[in-house]
Structure 1
Amino acid sequence: MSVLKFIYKNLDKFKIKFIFVFFAGIFDGFVTFFVPVLLAEFTKSSFISSDFQNLIYLVSIFYLSSLFFQWVIRKWGEAIALQFGNYIRLKYFKALEKLPIKDLINHHSGYILSMINKVSDGLEPIIFDIFWTFSKSISQMIMFFYFTAKESVFIAVVNIVILIIFIVVGTILSRKMVPIANELNKKRASLLESYTDFMSNILTVKRLGIYSFVEDKLFHKTNDNYNQIKKLQSFHANRWFFLHTLFSFAFLATVGFLLFQISKGILSSSVLILFIAAYALIRGNVNRISESFKLLMEMKAYVNNLDKIIFSSKPVVENKEIKKWKEIKFNNVYFQYTGTEKKISISEFIIKKGEKVCIMGKSGEGKTTFLNLFMNFLKPDKGERLIDTWSYGKMNEKFFQNRIAMISQDTELFNISLRENITLGQKIEEKIILDIFSKLDLLAWVQNLEKGLETIVGEKGIKLSAGQKQRINLIRGILLNREIILLDEPTSHLDFVTEGKVIDFLRDYFSDKTVIIVSHREALKEICDRCYVMKDHSLVEIS
């Protein structure tokens, strides 16, 4: 039920159409059931030619009505099923965008991606079943018990009792499947994590020649996954056998009772026609619903796991966004990653609007962590972060999203064109783009590309050197034209000549910007007003 609640809760723009199609399924169940009802009614007494014409007329009406309702389901219902999965992907993506970095880094991105894909892809067959099976079953069950009760209240009561037992036992067994499905989910996610990790670094595997190590890791995780699949399938098969034995008992007992009644002349043989035809309809739906239970249990595990990751954090409070600011200040800020003894301390940090500040220090001291604290990606364990007199906690997140650009050394390019990678949806004249490429010593390289700025880069595109990627990433951040720029080792992969050209460009570009540069390169100090150093995980200002 939790998965069905999840679907209904997230229908949003699909809700009206979903309800419309669901009722089309209910009506289809009614008209489909009426065909054996008509056959049973018309064969209760002597069957004459006028009855034949009326029967053909009514059966045709109900059959054509069924075709219409099924056309509605195919046209709109299946479209919803196909669209809804992608809609959920977007909702999860938006939720992940708001998730603090400290929560994101606790989970492998491949794991999160696999869970989202499992949920999004799994919703399609579930929605199919809701329209094609569950909705029809509602009306067909109602009709079945109604017409059965008309002929024999005893038979109707017996079947209702068996149905209740079927549902109760099915629910209990399904709940027992949840931990098994959850364990399979964990093992499958672990396998996908490793597979994604090794596949994305396949060149590293080849360069190091560590085939045996990788294959061994994947083999053991695949084997664990296979054993858990066998366990789940065994439980599912036993559950299926027990429930369908119960269903078959109800069928055989009812048929036997009806034959006994017919042999005594109490009931017409037409009732047997109705009953067998109705059971055939219901059995098909029961089989499908029974199979859906397994998918629902697996889906429940996936949804719950994603909820723990995405919705465990406190919701972001949308405070008022300030229009102007003069300075940003840190006072006695401390931060410590969970599971480590390293504690980063910032007794005092101030940057005024328009200032350029440099932060020096060795790798691993906490310089990048400071930038994440500045961007509000991380929350300090204690201390005060202020924008003028406003606490970070009272700031609207849009202040950080719309005013600050963080250009990190490890940012990857997307698998789209070079132009799209640097403009990110903005309309920027090619002349301006090429002028920046020229100043960063990349123009000749772009002009030699067969498709120029339309060349695909990223995983499936052309391969860039570390220095080229670093400058492309710098261009991307610059074209965002934010008023506060954070640079994390912007020249670490450049030779001294290229670094000099980049610094000259940044000196001109940064004239009206507020800038924090994290680097161990002394040359970048030239364009900064003040300098801090991160030493022994503590930030202090130096002259």
Structure 2
Amino acid sequence: MKSFTTVIPFIKRHKWDYIIGIIFLLGVDLLQMIIPHLLGSVTDLFKSKDLTPKILLNYSLWIIGISLLVFAFRFIWRIKIMGMSRLLEKDLREDLFSKLLTLSPQYYHEHKTGDLMAHATNDINAIRMAAGPGIIMSIDASFLSITIILIMIFTINFKLTLFALLPLPVLALVVNRFGKIIHARFTKVQEAFASLTDKVQESISGIRVIKAFVQEKEEIENFRQENFRNFLANMNMIKIWGLFDPAVQFLAALSFTIALLYGGTQVIRGVISLGEFVAFTAYLGMLIWPMMAFGWVINIFQRGAASMERINVILNEVPEITDKFADPNITTIKGDIEIKNLTFSYKKDLPPVLKNINLKIPRGKTLAIIGKTGSGKSTLVNLIARLYTVPCDKIFIDGHDINEIPLKVLRENIGFVPQDNFIFSDTIANNIAFTKEEPLEKIQKFAEMADVHKDIVEFPQQYDTVVGERGVTLSGGQKQRIAIARALIKDPKILILDDSLSAVDTNTEERILNNLKEFMKDRTTIIVSHRISTIKNADEIIVLDEGEIVERGTHEELLNLKGLYYSIYEKQQLEEAIQKEG
């Protein structure tokens, strides 16, 4: 199947493990085929009254010896083939995770987390089943079928074998038809599971909002609907599998009936001996497993193929942001930023978010950005960090087109605190020293600079305190300040604070900004904020409105313009006065 071309390199790398496993698998099959022959011989000796206790003991020892070899061989092929399928599962999951980390934020805006989680769990498990049990059963069933049929033809009776195997062509048609249906229905099962996973993930992540708005019953009902959809998809799959399995068993029973009627007649007529008939029925019994296995193989491979197609969509996804134009000679940056005539939209068919932006931010200077919600502030700083695809010859750092700077070099030299601060479910120390292991003294130094040290030492475990998922055990202000400390400890050449002080009070904000004065001296700093108190001391302030720079200057210059900045300032002054009176 074309879907499985992705795993061919893995199979080639581990071909000897598969070859050894297959050899021992075939060894088990050959050894098992001796036992019906031995039983037939014992039956004929018993009928002719030539069977003695010594001969019976010899035959018993042979059967025990063969069983011990089967035990050993089966262990070896399981370790080799099943072990490789587990290794493939591990490698595929790592490849998938690595691929996901190369994709841009835009990809995650368009794809649900639950769907991606389903890829990493159910889909990869289905591929593992195809690469392990699927391979085993397909080789085992094919080899057993061919060998048993040849033994039955050449050592027992050709006509009896021919009649007993008459249902096989019908079986082939059944397998082919059901296989196509299974593939389509399993794809729907995986899609339903992905949707269900996404619903659970979203509800748990938003549990505080659900409780705050008393939406527990509504969410339970929404979950019940998703769960019922998942149930129906699985029931449709079970129904087709429920028909498939009995159909194969019926055809196997039909073979036995034919063998019993025709074979019994042949024994009565003396064409074959009773021992040969016993051996034939034993071989036919062994043939039922391959007939059943063909059904399982089709089911497993169709499931695996459906899942592999879903995984391949991600693995073949071309990352939007790459080092295609990167210059390997650029190994560091100083921090001089220039933006020329930048116009940007997230997609070609959408209106631009930024229009004709022109800026110069010399190293060591601070630029502040203010504007209404949706004016393009975060988009602008995200472009400087190349979190979205930047048009060529629009943003320059140290005179280099930003696309020429290797992503690793660019981002290692940027300390970025985004609006949606993400705190990992780990210790506070590890959240601050996220990029590399740092001594506690250094972590404390930057925590003090972010004015969060005194909060941390109040926790029972202090810096070893493990915060909840997404920092749920921390306040909004604590999360913001830990994120600031995480950006500062990188010692970046460019510091970007995207509305990073919105959750702290004005006194805390003032302390943090005072702490940062010395740190910001030789660095390019960009501060995005809704509060004028945060940005009033910046070297230059720009006011964005609908993606355009409508005003620029220092705090005093912008107040004198009596424009948008002035109106924002007046409004905030009035709000502060009302709060003080209250």
Superposition TM-score tier, normalisation by shorter sequence: 0.7 to 0.9
2:327, 2:41 → 1: CA distance?
70
Deviations 1:225-249 (A, max 9, x none): 3333332222222233333333333
8 A contact 2:84–2:132 mirrored in 1: no
Letter in 1 for 2:423: L
Structure 1: segments with no counterpart, 5+ residues: none
Match of residue 331, structure 1, among 327, 334, 340: 340
8 A contact 2:497–2:527 mirrored in 1: yes
Deviations 1:62-116 (A, max 9, x none): 2221111222245455554555434432221100001122222101112211232
In structure 2, the residue matched to 1:38 is: 38
Provide closer, same or farther for how the CA distance between residues 278 and 314 of structure 1 changes in structure 2, counting only shifts above 3 A: farther
Letter in 1 for 2:497: L
In structure 1, the residue matched to 2:89 is: 85
8 A contact 1:255–1:272 mirrored in 2: no
Letter in 1 for 2:191: K
Deviations 1:205-230 (A, max 9, x none): 12211123212222222233333333
Letter in 2 for 1:336: S
In structure 2, the residue matched to 1:259 is: 264
2:292, 2:259 → 1: CA distance?
19
In structure 2, the residue matched to 1:506 is: 516
8 A contact 1:129–1:289 mirrored in 2: no
In structure 2, the residue matched to 1:26 is: 26
Deviations 1:344-373 (A, max 9, x none): 324434445554433222221122222332
In structure 2, the residue matched to 1:492 is: 502
Q: Does 1:113 align with 2:153?
A: no
Q: CA deviation at 1:463?
A: 0.8
Q: CA deviation at 1:464?
A: 0.5
1:350, 1:251 → 2: CA distance?
87
TM-score with structure 1 length normalisation? 0.87
Give the secondary structure class of the aligned counterpart of 2:520: helix
Letter in 2 for 1:420: N
Give the secondary structure class of the aligned counterpart of 1:348: strand
Provide closer, same or farther for how the CA distance between residues 509 and 469 of structure 1 changes in structure 2, counting only shifts above 3 A: same
2:502, 2:111 → 1: CA distance?
28
2:450, 2:88 → 1: CA distance?
45
1:283, 1:392 → 2: CA distance?
66
Structure 2: segments with no counterpart, 5+ residues: 554-582
Q: Does 1:98 align with 2:102?
A: yes
Match of residue 372, structure 1, among 369, 374, 382: 382
In structure 1, the residue matched to 2:249 is: 244
Letter in 1 for 2:20: F
Deviations 1:472-491 (A, max 9, x none): 11112222334333321121
Provide closer, same or farther for how the CA distance between residues 475 and 80 of structure 1 changes in structure 2, counting only shifts above 3 A: farther
What aligned pairs does 1:25-424 form with structure 2 within 5 A after superposition?
25-40=25-40, 43=43, 48-49=51-52, 51-52=55-56, 54-75=58-79, 77-82=81-86, 84-130=88-134, 133-150=137-154, 151-154=156-159, 162-163=167-168, 165-287=170-292, 290-291=295-296, 293-313=298-318, 316=322, 319-321=326-328, 322-325=330-333, 327-338=336-347, 340-341=350-351, 343-380=353-390, 384-387=394-397, 391-393=401-403, 395-424=405-434
2:448, 2:217 → 1: CA distance?
46
Provide closer, same or farther for how the CA distance between residues 142 and 213 of structure 1 changes in structure 2, counting only shifts above 3 A: same
Provide closer, same or farther for how the CA distance between residues 278 and 380 of structure 1 changes in structure 2, counting only shifts above 3 A: farther
Letter in 2 for 1:476: R
In structure 1, the residue matched to 2:567 is: none
Q: CA deviation at 1:410?
A: 0.9
2:360, 2:18 → 1: CA distance?
55
Q: CA deviation at 1:450?
A: 1.7
Q: CA deviation at 1:457?
A: 0.6
Letter in 2 for 1:542: R
1:367, 1:119 → 2: CA distance?
39
Deviations 1:158-208 (A, max 9, x none): 677754653453133211233333233333322322222112222221221
Match of residue 491, structure 2, among 476, 481, 492: 481
Provide closer, same or farther for how the CA distance between residues 334 and 259 of structure 1 changes in structure 2, counting only shifts above 3 A: farther
Give the secondary structure class of the aligned counterpart of 1:486: strand
Provide closer, same or farther for how the CA distance between residues 265 and 42 of structure 1 changes in structure 2, counting only shifts above 3 A: same
1:278, 1:528 → 2: CA distance?
88
8 A contact 2:501–2:509 mirrored in 1: yes
Provide closer, same or farther for how the CA distance between residues 301 and 173 of structure 1 changes in structure 2, counting only shifts above 3 A: same
1:240, 1:293 → 2: CA distance?
12
Instruction: Report the more deviating stretch, 467-476 or 195-204.
Output: 195-204
1:125, 1:420 → 2: CA distance?
37
- State, as a whole percentage, how many aligned pairs show the same letter: 18
2:432, 2:466 → 1: CA distance?
12
In structure 1, the residue matched to 2:561 is: none
Aligned length: 543
TM-score with structure 2 length normalisation? 0.82
2:495, 2:21 → 1: CA distance?
51
Letter in 2 for 1:257: Y
